[in-house]
Amino acid sequence: MTDLRTRVRKAVLPAAGLGTRFLPATKAQPKEMLPVVDKPLIQYAVEECLASGIENIIIVTGRGKNAIEDHFDAAPELERFLEEKGKRELAEQVRRISNMIQFSYTRQKEPLGLGHAVLCARELVGDEPFAVLLGDVIIDGAVPATRQLAEVFEATGAGVIAVQEVPREQTRLYGIVDAVAEKNSRWGERLLRIRTLVEKPAPEQAPSTLGVTGRYVLPPEIFDCIERTGRGALGEIQLTDALVLLAQEKGLYALVVEGTTYDAGDKLGFLKATVEFGLKNPEFGEAFRDYLRSLKL
């Protein structure tokens, strides 16, 4: 049995970013609410939490993000309206969203970086391990990425972050790890011990091509590490820099997660996610496939 010190029950979803990569769509609307097929981006992360055994989600919001709270709140008028119209299934879907899981919210008052956003959740997380999910990354696979990480944490007691191979010319978009394979683990070559990390290095400076893909399971000691972290890349308090301290002081793993990753915070990545989730849709996937085939590309 896993005890409370290693059970991962809470998740932090930073959602205070300004979404500048997606302007003008994000001028008056949070990027987390952009829909991929029929669900807002952030709901994919919430459903991943649910499927990973998380019981409590802490969303770090900022100015102009009220739509996120409304989305996960009850909507009695809408539910009643749908029921009166005989659309019981839709009413049930809407109800399910607000009953999914326990939500708490906290605000990041200034956009000081991802590390700072995570630090804003300190009181709500308390003294226990927690997951961090960056909502603009969707990882689609048989076992949810957060579950894969939680299993490593529960077995080793050490923090672990998701990585995947990225093209060397794209290292500037990611945190990149310098890591060595952990011998004799049940994850084989997929589990690595992190020596250090670099946030968004130039290709010639990148210590590897293993990029951090927006999923983390961390011990509460990370908060002290963030507090000791000054401003790094882009003048922001970077989670990556705090992870360097954690790796040195407590140890930290990287797990090459299984699954297909979409960076839906980027316009092209968003389109790819939309097309692939559209193709998988049970209701109209086939019709969409026929439509795509009919295009003279």
Q: Which is nearer to ligand G1P, 170 or 248 (CB)?
A: 170
Stretch in the footprint of ligand G1P (CB under 6 A) among 56-64, 206-214, 250-258, 287-295: 206-214
Compute how many residues bind ligand G1P; rule: CB under 6 A.
Answer: 13
Q: Indicate whether 212 belongs to the interface with ligand G1P (CB under 6 A).
A: yes
x-marked contacts with ligand G1P along 226-265 as a string, rule CB under 6 A: -------------xx----------------------x--
Nearest residue to 178 (alpha-carbon basis) of 204, 202, 196: 196
In the list 44, 72, 153, 174, the residue contacting ligand G1P (rule: CB under 6 A) is 174
Nearest residue to 56 (alpha-carbon basis) of 105, 4, 108: 105
Tell me the residue type at 169: E
Q: Are 137 and 272 in contact (CB under 8 A)?
A: no
* Shortest reach from residue 92's CB to ligand G1P, in Å: 33
Please give the angle made by the CA atoms of 54, 223 and 45, to the nearest 5 degrees: 30
* Shortest reach from residue 253's CB to ligand G1P, in Å: 16
Distance in angstroms (rounded) separating the CA atoms of residues 59 and 10: 11
Distance in angstroms (rounded) separating the CA atoms of residues 223 and 246: 10
Stretch in the footprint of ligand G1P (CB under 6 A) among 62-70, 118-126, 210-218, 269-277: 210-218
Residues 6 or more apart from 100 whose CB is under 8 A from it? 46, 47, 50, 72
Name the DSSP class of 32: G
| Site for ligand G1P, rule CB under 6 A | 114, 134, 137, 174-175, 199, 211-214, 239-240, 263
